[in-house]
Amino acid sequence: MTPHAPAGAVAVAPAGSGEAKPSTLRRLHALLHDNPTIVPFIVLLLAVALFSAIVGRRFFHPFNLSLVLQQVTIIAIVGTAQTLVILIAGIDLSVGAIMVLASVVMGRLGVIDGVPMILAFPLGLMVGVACGAANGALVALLRLPPFIVTLGTWSIFGALNLWYSRSETIRQQDVEVAAPFLQFLGTAFRFWGARLTCGSLLMLALAALVWYLLRRTAFGRHVHATGDDPDAARLAGIDVTRVVVAVYTIAGLICAVAGWALIGRIGAISAISGGTANLDSITAVVIGGTSLFGGRGSIIGTLIGALIVGVFRNGLALAGANALWQEFAIGLLIIIAVAIDQWIRKVAA
């Protein structure tokens, strides 16, 4: 007969019994933390299913699907630049201004001033590099808040854009005659009944290149480490200042490439185009699962986030909804995405 334990004794688990199994909620959190693209991918599938049920065959028509892809090309390219910055726990409110300024510089040099395109195009790209490097230097070297820095440079780059362009639009016909290379990314071709553009292919190629940079190189590991904990990254021997400057510089270059794609998209060169690129890029990044606090996210998630924005706007437009409800839906998605990110971080802590 087994004797009773003394009163107040603490029961001890048998040796080898192991720890308690994690709860379902814990396992779900671990899954979402390790795979931040799962939620946006599910949202994209649900959005496609919803609008296919509401709109019908029109939504899955090859022309409509290719239209969605063309509409998100600029958002996705600028969002790629924004993803790099947010991964280091920063933010860039000047991405749209850099994009337009680069497009205006390469456009006016090539069309108005008659500079050979072999010089005008690289000079436009260098404008993006210089703007990004300026942002990075102010953030990393002067230790200024990135929100304030890029809010200020957004106004500066915008003013320079209006000054240099003289608020004039270069017509599509003039660009086609003097600098047809600038419209190259707008070249369309047929693929399984869909109308695709070279700009969409560039978007995918650029995303693949940045994905490789982040996932397969030491620089990518340094980016994630800097965004996760800059002090720990510095103690580990990472030059955090150099990483921050490099990230903003690369982001500026990508924005300049987006300026080239913008010319191909609209055909003309306008100083007032791309006005919503700043907020649209942040929207795509946040909805795509990248944490605003840095260290967690992916380029694939940003592409999915851009597609979610495109699908919702296109689906609601086909359903006859007012444009204000399109923005309402996008705003609601942003709040939900940030709430999920906060929940994941809270459980992890």
Spatial separation of the C-alpha atoms in residues 314 and 167, rounded to whole Å: 31
- Reference 142, options 131, 132, 134, 154; nearest CA is 134
Structure tokens belonging to residue 164: 């240099």
Structure confidence at residue 87 as a pLDDT band (50, 70, 90): very high
For residue 21, the model assigns a pLDDT of 61
Distance from C-alpha of 2 to C-alpha of 7, rounded to nearest angstrom:
15
Nearest partner of 134 among 97, 89, 80, judged by Cα = 97
At residue 241 the predicted structure's pLDDT band, cuts being 50, 70 and 90, is very high
Mean pLDDT of 261-281: 89
Domain spans of the chain, in order of start: 39-341
Segment 307-315 shows an average pLDDT of 90
Mean pLDDT of 74-99: 95
Q: 157-167, pLDDT tens digit by residue?
A: 999 999 999 88
Q: What is the pLDDT of residue 5?
A: 47
Looking only at the bridges linking them, the beta strands covering 194-197 and 188-191 are antiparallel
Report which of residues 11 and 311 the model is more confident about: 311
What is the CATH topology of the domain spanning 39-341? ABC transporter involved in vitamin B12 uptake, BtuC (1.10.3470)
Beta strand spans in 204-295 (E): none
* Predicted TM-score (pTM) of this structure: 0.88
End-to-end C-alpha distance for the chain, whole angstroms: 47
What is the structure's pLDDT at 196?
86
pLDDT of residue 22: 66
Q: What is the mean pLDDT of residues 275-286?
A: 88
Please report the pLDDT score of residue 337 as a whole number.
81
- Summarize pLDDT for 88-140 with one digit per residue, the tens: 999 999 999 999 999 999 999 999 999 999 999 999 999 999 999 999 999 99
